[in-house]
Structure 1
Amino acid sequence: MSEALLAQAVTALKTVGLNYAFVLDLGERTAFLRGLGVTLQLCLLTIPASLAAGVLIAAALTSGRAWLVQPARAFVEVTRNTPTLVQLYCAFLVLNMLITQHVKMPGGNPLTPFVWVVIVVSLHKGVFHAEALRAGIGAVPRVTLEAARSLGFSQRQLLWRVELPLALRFALPSLVNNLVDLVKMTAVASAIAVGDVTYESIMIWTQRDNVLELLLLILVFFGLLTWLVSLAGRWLEERLRMPGYGQ
């Protein structure tokens, strides 16, 4: 969009009381667009990372081995019962400081604030994925498991080839709901000065006093992202549906 069209749009919006003059400033416009990109990066990294964490935690919870089940259960209870923001502060302000003090590497601590957001958000939502998958594993019909055992499947093969593929289908609506929440949760990145869309918007509105206008943009942006995740989830449900299974 050319500068002239942007100026016309800004002028038109002023007539309804919305001040979007920041888009005419190259520096502020670039910062806002950069924030959009950082938020997209966070989503693209935390979605697969949280799913991988969920699968591993669910596997530990359903392993039947006490040395795996008990630590996994303790981790789930602590993680899901404490706020994400508190976890992020503890990770970045405590663990990060300890790592910085003890790691002797060229360039110092490789864990940037961005990386800490990915780790904390992925693990936080991973425990919710794990519980959804655990419920899905419990919903696998007993006759299906008996049939797999009669074919000589080991416990590990039973989990990875039978239980998890079916559990994924059973738990998919819950997983998609968790991913929608994850997309919104990435906004906590602004709390430790990661330059996501929320942080960059805060930097802009402290100079221009246009909080309402930027919040509207943030709402539209996250609404679009969560809608796309929901759309992908519905597509997967249709794609992975097994006609007649369980009937």
Structure 2
Amino acid sequence: MELDFGQIVPSIPYILEGILVTLRIVLIAGVLGFAFGIVLSLFKISSFKPLGWLADAYTSIFRGTPLVLQLMLIYFGSPQILGFQIEPYTAAIISFALNSAAYISEIIRAGILAVDKGQREAALALGVPYRQMMWDIILPQALKNILPALMNEFITLTKESAIVTTIGVMDIMRRSYQVGAQYYSYFEPLIVAGLIYYLMVIILTFLGKLVERRMRRGD
């Protein structure tokens, strides 16, 4: 086995440019998934049963099928369903946001249910409207409890974002593959890509713990 990492050194800056592409997709999809996940979680605990059934069906579908399948359906199926081709970057954000929302909704639902029922009863006794109670009292407490789980979902989303290479998005993986094709040697650039993803996860884990500690101090 002959390995030569020296030959790909000039191409490392090109691979590193994919970090911004990956982070943009993950950040936008994560924010959209979080917002939609809150809506789904409220549907699931709603006293109006059809909303709960709808949210449960959505979660079941997106958790029960592979993310790469969802990505391909949105990207390759858009001309047939919508009549026009969705851009790869847009398709990646949509698929990741929809998939992430299904998982985040379950995390938030569990966090809401974990909040002491006395908080809700006290708010209702004081005449606090339901929306204000959820937004100002219940959700802030729930988020503190589920922050580690949310951070883990964000880290998972960062790693799974590598599948966007299947639809041609110029992320870290795609650029590494192109470098491998240029030198007819794929092992070295893929190892570099792996190290980049690993360092990104380490940094995100550290930031997550930092935020968690600050939130605990604020209790």
TM-score between the two structures when normalised by the length of structure 2 = 0.91
Match of 2:153 in 1: 178
What stretches of structure 1 of length at least 5 have no aligned partner? Answer: 1-15, 102-108
1:70 alignment counterpart: 53
The AA in structure 2 aligned to 1:69 is G
Equivalent runs, 1:18-33 vs 2, <5 Å = 18-24=4-10, 28=11, 31-33=14-16
Shift of 1:233: 1.4
Q: Deviations over 1:42-73 (max 9, x none)?
A: 22322222221221211221222223211111
Partner of 1:225: 200
TM-score (norm 1): 0.81
Asked if structure 1 preserves the Cα contact closer than 8 Å seen for 2:180 and 2:187, the reply is no
* Distance in 2, Cα, partners of 1:29 & 1:174: 33
Give the aligned partner of residue 210 of structure 1. 185
Q: Shift of residue 188 of structure 1? A: 1.0
Aligned to 1:41: 24
Residue 200 to residue 157, structure 1, CA distance change in 2 (3 Å): same
2:175 aligns with one of 200, 221, 224: 200
Q: Which amino acid aligns with 2:120?
A: L
Q: Secondary structure at the match of 1:210?
A: coil
Which structure: greater helix fraction? 2
CA RMSD of aligned residues (A): 2.0
Question: How far apart, CA to CA, are the structure 2 residues paired with 1:64 and 1:236?
Answer: 34
Amino acid at match of 1:60: F
Matched residue, 1:57: 40
Residue from 153, 173, 179 that aligns with 2:128: 153
Q: Which one has a bigger Cα radius of gyration?
A: 1
Distance 1:100 1:204 in 2: 34
Give the residue type in structure 1 aligned to 2:8. F
1:134 aligns with one of 109, 112, 120:
109
- Offset at 1:172? 1.1
Q: Which amino acid in 1 is paired with 2:97?
A: S
SS of equivalent residue, structure 2 residue 4: coil
Letter of the 2:9 counterpart: V
CA 1:230 to 1:215, structure 2 compared with 1: closer, same or farther past 3 Å?
A: same
Partners of 2:63 and 2:18 in 1: CA distance: 28
> What pairs up with 1:231-246 in 2 under 5 angstroms?
231-241=206-216
189-198 or 47-56, which deviates more: 47-56
Q: For the residues of structure 1 that align with 2:208 and 2:16, how far apart are their CA atoms? A: 27
Would you identify which runs of 4 or more consecutive aligned residues in structure 1 move more than 3 Å?
28-31
Alpha carbons of 1:63 and 1:96: their partners in 2 closer, same or farther (altered >3 Å)? Answer: farther
Matched with 2:68 is: 85
The separation in 2 between residues aligned to 1:158 and 1:183, in whole angstroms, is 33
Asked whether the equivalents of residues 19 and 210 of structure 1 are also in contact (C-alpha less than 8 Å), the reply is no
In the alignment, which residue of structure 2 is the partner of 1:164?
139
Structure 1 distance, partners of 2:33, 2:213, is 22
Q: CA deviation at 1:21?
A: 1.5
Q: CA deviation at 1:96?
A: 4.4
